[in-house]
Structure 1
């Protein structure tokens, strides 16, 4: 009997350590980043720096190790190319935090936090949008919310996973993947130890009929094995894309021969328009996508994801 009681206490203890994705946390992050006061988080703006400092504070609260070049920050210059502006060269930064589990391999989890500001740096799809705030709730406050919630879960779950985690909030993605390309060319962590890279860009507007797109399935033979261990009935609907390239930051890692998976819920009428607001994000589905990501991440722990497979050479 005493052994049964001891077992019950053990199970209760393990359950108390469990960390779940919280929709309220996701809402908090998106509503902060996509507030009108943030003026669209355009690269080089004081609001973009405010967003970076918000992410930095969260990384500190999760006790992640700073792995930038100035604490959590890795600074670089980004150029506005689509329109002529006086301040075409702008200071930008990646925000980098490391969860060190003393493991031999590391998974990168990334998302970009910049957006297109007040329509003054190009890329707006709205008519007469110059000077209008583009809040970028889905693009990409949703991805940063996912990044921060995964960072919280893995850092606070009282479990020492057999991999390390490198969490990177990329700057200047909207100016041409500038932050992620800067990181892979000036890495603050040896890329030889990267297991694989997961990227989130626009994961807040799930189309339940088509599901979430997971691009990069072909970049490692191991992904097929990992996905075979996923029960689709337990998660949001998804479909996979073979190619590694795509219009977001995973491309920079793919070009360095690192396997990647890119999560994306697709375009919508508010994309790159002033109407991409926080109240339009589907937070319950966002939580579901993150739980799917956790299952894939956890399923990759004991599987050798390398060698990389170049999907350009199908």
Structure 2
């Protein structure tokens, strides 16, 4: 009996340890944000070295977690953009694919850039002052990596493929997502939905979690029905356009879900720092997102509602 108890205990500890490998982890979230929002990266500006370092960091994580590069053998999708008097500014999306052999694909994304030293914005923000962008949007990238761990390590082969995108140059005008939908690495017609995370690290229980895009698919009311996550309350918003990357996917005929914990006094200021993150609450937001994706996967296809496709 003692031996059986020891075996049972060991088995329980193993399963618990294994579960922690893929369930969203507050400590991993904080670790990711600490790096991306560190002084070393100087705010991850699109036209600055810190932005390039952030993109390389994300690519390394994609490779470590087993995602496949799908852009001619590269994780990078390079592009240039114009912003005010700045022409041909270089940036890149970072893209990785989890191939489950399915006909359709779910896109999960978050932008990794921030304002950096504000050199692109012609005096709109304090120049040569580091804007670390912990919530905006190191928190979203941390969430993206946790989603990858979940779907690549949970022992399940989902009925959909997953394409994970860390988008560049969101702050100058959604440039990375615009480039992607104009130059997709998979057919947009094969995309089931796009889930976007932008500022998910400062949960405020008074406001709750906002989820946009509720009006972008006929099935969303059924998908959202009875979905709850202890420790998080949320409200839905039918709007599917907006100042984040899901906008361009929606305008291309794709149902979207947009997770956002709301504005705060540090938005687009040098004070958006890592020590203000709420990692436990962010982990719960991600668990809620996983539940919504699970419900969406019960449908072979979703019926898009809204703008005409391009």
TM-score of the aligned structures, taking structure 1 as reference length: 0.89
Match of 1:135 among 123, 129, 132: 132
Segments of 5+ residues of structure 2 without an aligned counterpart are 1-7
Instruction: Give per-residue Cα distances to partners, 1:177-219, cap 9 Å, x unaligned.
Output: 1000100010011111111000000111111111111000010
Q: Which residue of 1 aligns with 2:164?
A: 167
* Root-mean-square deviation over aligned CA pairs: 2.1
- Matches of 1:74 and 1:162, distance apart in 2: 26
Q: Which residue of 1 aligns with 2:287?
A: 291
Contact persistence 2:253–2:304 (CA under 8 A)? yes
Contact persistence 1:69–1:188 (CA under 8 A)? no
Distance 1:100 1:146, change over 3 A: same
3-state SS of 2:42 partner: helix
Match of 2:208 among 207, 211, 233: 211
Distance 1:239 1:24, change over 3 A: same
Distance 1:124 1:199, change over 3 A: farther
Is 1:109 the equivalent of 2:112?
no
Is 1:47 the equivalent of 2:50?
yes
Instruction: Give per-residue Cα distances to partners, 1:230-255, cap 9 Å, x unaligned.
Output: 1x363511100001101100000000
1:216-295 equivalence runs, <5 A:
216-230=213-227, 232=228, 234-295=230-291
Contact persistence 1:68–1:95 (CA under 8 A)? no
TM-score of the aligned structures, taking structure 2 as reference length: 0.90
Distance 1:157 1:233, change over 3 A: closer
- Matches of 1:118 and 1:295, distance apart in 2: 38
Stretches (4+) displaced over 6 A? 11-16
3-state SS of 2:95 partner: strand
How far does residue 305 in structure 1 lie from its aligned partner after superposition? 4.6
How far does residue 101 in structure 1 lie from its aligned partner after superposition? 0.6
3-state SS of 1:197 partner: strand
1:11-90 equivalence runs, <5 A:
18=19, 19-69=22-72, 71-81=74-84, 84-85=85-86, 88-90=87-89
